Amino acid sequence: FCARSATMLQTARTTEELVAIKEQIHARTSPLATLSKAMRNLPPKDRPRVGSMLHEARAELEAALKAAETRVNELELSARLAAEHDDIANYLYPGRLRGTGALHLITQTRMILEDLFTSMGFMVAEGPEVETEFHNFEALNIPKYHPARANQDSFYLNYGEPESTLLRTHTSPVQIRLMQSRTPPIYAVVPGRVYRRDTPDARHTPAFHQLEALVVDRGISFAHLKATIETFTRAYFGPGIQARLRPAYFPFTEPSAEFEITCTICGGDGCRTCSGTGWIELGGSGMVHPKVFAHVGIDPEEYSGFAFGFGIDRLAQMKVALKDMRILPDNDLRVLAQMRGVL
Ligand code: PHE
């Protein structure tokens, strides 16, 4: 029985076969079990000898069983792996082209502007979109009853409370944060999202983007402001463009100016001058107001500075001759798909 079982174990190829052999070995009617039972009929002096023979036979069979199990497991595993490998090969689909994403037009514009200003020696800074009234208005010399502070123009988070906060209405509060946290010289640009309670139309969305520039150093003059604006508008729109300043008023700059460029429409065929007055307004600018310097503890006798700010969306719109700004925040895939590499 033992020799026959051992041979069967050695040649078994499946788990089922092994289970059957194992059952035979462990069966209560197996020769081994029968012999064990018959022990009690033996004279006591023969029992140890026969007992240890039985024990040895059992141990050998168990070892053979273990070895067979290991062998059969490996056999079955490699058979299964081979079969599964065939499965994968059979079920492979032909490759499919997946569309990759594109950077949003605003992101592309912001990156171009950041590159441009960093190449001119500016650092890029950011500030919070939820601002304190102090940073958004007070420190910028926008007095309490200035119309821009009325609730209908700004999104307040807790209007009327003593420490009220709002969605910033421009990137200028970051001027304050920069001057509070750094000592001049400061050459920084601040791109970011800003919010106003505007009714959306072809040229306005309630959330849009601005880029703020701030320079504070010794001996900074209005000429530096003008040259910086000329340089960046030409770098962005092309050398054919002209920039000019027009007197304006902002509470946080003195003197203040709006800057305009020669009106351009750009398309796939390049940029050209459009009709009308021939000029289009881009943003606001001016020399940092002494009262603003006072709020951040910078000595206006030692330092002077300029700042300007403009809409990134508007610049993007002009470059691609976009008719309606409202498509920009819409996330319409048909529009987004066309944004790849337009700039
Ligand atoms: N913050 C102004 C606006 O939002 C623009 C501006 C920036 C004007 C810096 C002067 C200096 O319209």
Per residue in 4-46, pLDDT tens?
Answer: 999 999 999 999 999 999 999 999 999 988 988 898 898 989 8
- In this structure, the strands spanning 130-132 and 165-167 are antiparallel
> How far apart are alpha carbons 67 and 96 in whole angstroms?
48
| Residue 196, helix vs strand vs coil | coil
**Structure confidence at residue 116 as a pLDDT band (50, 70, 90):** very high
Specify the pLDDT at position 17: 94
Tell me, in angstroms, the distance from the centre of ligand 1 to residue 252's CA: 8
- In this structure, the strands spanning 243-250 and 279-288 are unpaired
Residue 153 near residue 147, CB atoms below 8 Å: yes
Tell me, in angstroms, the distance from the centre of ligand 1 to residue 172's CA: 6
- Binding site feature residues for Mg(2+): 254
Tell me, in angstroms, the distance from the centre of ligand 1 to residue 180's CA: 19
Ligand 1 and 172: CB distance under 6 A: yes
Q: Across residues 114-137, what is the average pLDDT?
A: 97
| Residue 132, helix vs strand vs coil | strand
Atom of ligand 1 nearest to the CA of 283: 5
Joined together, the tokens standing for residue 299 give 């000595």
| Residue 265, helix vs strand vs coil | strand
Position 219: which residue type? G
| pLDDT tens digits, 207-246 | 999 999 999 999 999 999 999 999 999 999 888 888 999 9
**Model's pTM, two decimal places?**
0.71
Specify the pLDDT at position 287: 98
> How far apart are alpha carbons 235 and 174 in whole angstroms?
25
- Binding site feature residues: 254
Specify the pLDDT at position 313: 93
Ligand 1 and 308: CB distance under 6 A: yes
> How far apart are alpha carbons 5 and 58 in whole angstroms?
11
Specify the pLDDT at position 276: 66
Give the closest residue (by CA) to ligand 1 atom 4.
Answer: 170
Per-residue CA distances from 123 to 102, 114, 212, 284, 337 (Å): 26, 9, 12, 20, 31
Specify the pLDDT at position 68: 94
Ligand 1 and 305: CB distance under 6 A: no
ipTM of this predicted structure: 0.98
Ligand 1 and 170: CB distance under 6 A: yes
Per-residue CA distances from 187 to 121, 192, 213, 258 (Å): 7, 17, 8, 20
Tell me, in angstroms, the distance from the centre of ligand 1 to residue 249's CA: 10
Does pLDDT of 275 surpass 80?
no
Tell me, in angstroms, the distance from the centre of ligand 1 to residue 153's CA: 15
Specify the pLDDT at position 203: 83
Specify the pLDDT at position 192: 98
Tell me, in angstroms, the distance from the centre of ligand 1 to residue 322's CA: 24
Specify the pLDDT at position 143: 85
Tell me, in angstroms, the distance from the centre of ligand 1 to residue 238's CA: 24
Residue 311's nearest CA partner among 303, 301, 319 is 319
> How far apart are alpha carbons 240 and 98 in whole angstroms?
40
The residue to mutate among 142, 153, 168, 172, having the most atoms of ligand 1 within 8 angstroms of its beta carbon, is 172
Ligand 1 and 307: CB distance under 6 A: yes
Q: Residue 112, exposed/middle/buried by CB under 10 A (0-12, 13-18, 19+)?
A: middle
Ligand 1 and 250: CB distance under 6 A: yes
| pLDDT tens digits, 240-263 | 888 999 999 999 999 999 999 887
Residue 194's nearest CA partner among 279, 276, 90, 283 is 283
Ligand 1 and 284: CB distance under 6 A: yes
| Residue 27, helix vs strand vs coil | coil
Mean model confidence pLDDT for the chain: 90
